[in-house]
Amino acid sequence: MSFHPVEQAPGRLNRSELAVPGSQPQMFEKAAQSDVDVIFLDLEDAVAPDEKLQARKNIIKALNEIDWGKKSMSIRINGLDTHYMYRDVVDIVEQAGERLDLIMIPKVGTAADVYAVDMMVTQIEDAKGYKKRIGFEHIIETALGMQNVTEIAAASKRNESLHFGVADYAASTRARTTIIGGVNPDYSVLTDPAEDGSRDIHWGDMWHYALARMVVAARANGLRPIDGPFGDFSDPEGYKAAAKRAAVLGCEGKWAIHPSQVVLANEVMSPSEGEVDRANRILSAMADAEAAGKGAVSLDGRLIDYASIRQAEVLIEKVKQIAAA
Ligand code: GLV
Ligand code: MG
């Protein structure tokens, strides 16, 4: 390991994160009853300008009055370029800050954006005498945010997670897609002709680079990388495919923009029985190897070593987190 320690953010379960518009209070109870790990009550892009003030009031009331159980509660504030943002923070943290676990900052572009919100939240928490510190979730969803993702990830002790906001990211980078989280058949590889002249088309994942880059910045700073929305809620297979790609790259959760996506996210982002079984067998095989004075052995015909222990331990830790939820 490097001599530079990577401090880990609080071990919060974040397999699924449900977006609930603050302007739709009739959806709050159902969200509270769901199996989701984190809920963000939205003040930003799912709320029309005329409804912003009422949404803020709805959220304050809901945070104080609804039993959200063990769920982590977040609010997505408006962007720092709007005049709504300061009151989102002041009113909600002052009036409902004790039940708020996280603040989601959209379209974060620079480390200074994080600093500004941190300064406000710190003042309010201190003035109110809150004991619990509110964490930050940042949506990386602009070219500027992606360019500065490393500095953003390191900008505050409150930072807990980075989220890939694929819809705004597409808009910001002028990517050719209009479907939220969808792909484009033009991003494909045409194979060389086979003997009979036929050629195959392999679709590519146009979001691979962005997601992978965000995952590295998150993990290098001890934060959770979380994949963002998949807009077509009538396509569970498409959702699961996107969630699996994200999980394979290291993401530990995905947004749900519809309650039906919560169960899919929880399923994909939880280790399977097979994975848990293999992790346990790796740990016991490596314990035997160590007792025999070996650093690497084979299991099922494959090499395992100390890095395998670390991977297995991460997986078992996740299982414990899920059991405790
Ligand atoms: C989320 O906010 C997104 O833009 O995808
Ligand atoms: Mg967005």
pLDDT of 266 above 90: yes
Q: How confident is the model at residue 17 (pLDDT cuts 50, 70, 90)?
A: very high
Whole-number Å distance between alpha carbons of 184 and 77: 31
Are 203 and 293 contained in the same domain? no
**How far is Cα 269 from Cα 77, in angstroms, rounded to an integer?**
26
Q: Is the same domain home to 141 and 222?
A: yes
Percentage of the chain exceeding pLDDT 90: 93
Any alpha helices (H) in the chain, and if so which ranges? 28-33, 52-65, 85-96, 111-128, 143-147, 149-153, 166-173, 208-220, 236-249, 260-269, 273-291, 306-324
Are 55 and 22 a contacting pair, CB within 8 Å?
Answer: yes
Question: d(Cα 172, Cα 234) in Å, to the nearest integer?
Answer: 26
DSSP 8-class letter at 134: P
| Dist. CA 214–CA 140, nearest whole Å | 8
Ligand closest to 79 (CA) is: 2
Q: Among candidates 253, 308, 302, 303, which has minimal Cα distance to 280?
A: 308
Name the one residue in this structure whose structure tokens are 């790796």. 282
Query: Quick one: pLDDT at residue 258?
Result: 97
| Tens-place pLDDT, residues 20-39 | 999 999 999 999 999 999 99
**Ligand 1 center–CA 167 separation, angstroms:** 5
Q: Which of 225, 247, 270 is the last residue of a domain?
A: 270
Residue 68 burial (CB count, 10 A): 16
Report pLDDT digits (tens) over 138-191: 999 999 999 999 999 999 999 999 999 999 999 999 999 888 998 899 999 999
Ligand 2 centroid vs 79 CA: distance in angstroms?
A: 10
User: Residue 87's pLDDT is what?
Assistant: 98
Judge if 260 and 299 occupy the same domain. no
pLDDT bin (cut points 50, 70, 90) of residue 257 is: very high
Please indicate, yes or no, if residue 4 is contained in any of the structural domains.
no
For atom 3 of ligand 1, which residue has the closest CA?
Answer: 165
Whether residues 61 and 172 fall in one domain:
yes
The pLDDT value given to residue 178: 80
Residues 221 and 310 in one domain: no
Is 1's pLDDT higher than 90?
Answer: no
Would you state the pLDDT for residue 219?
98
Residue 198 CB: number of other CB atoms within 10 A?
8
Supply the range of the domain harboring residue 156.
16-270
| Closest ligand 1 atom to Cα of 171 | 4
pTM to 2 decimal places: 0.96
Residues 137 and 150 in one domain: yes
CATH number at residue 198: 3.20.20.60
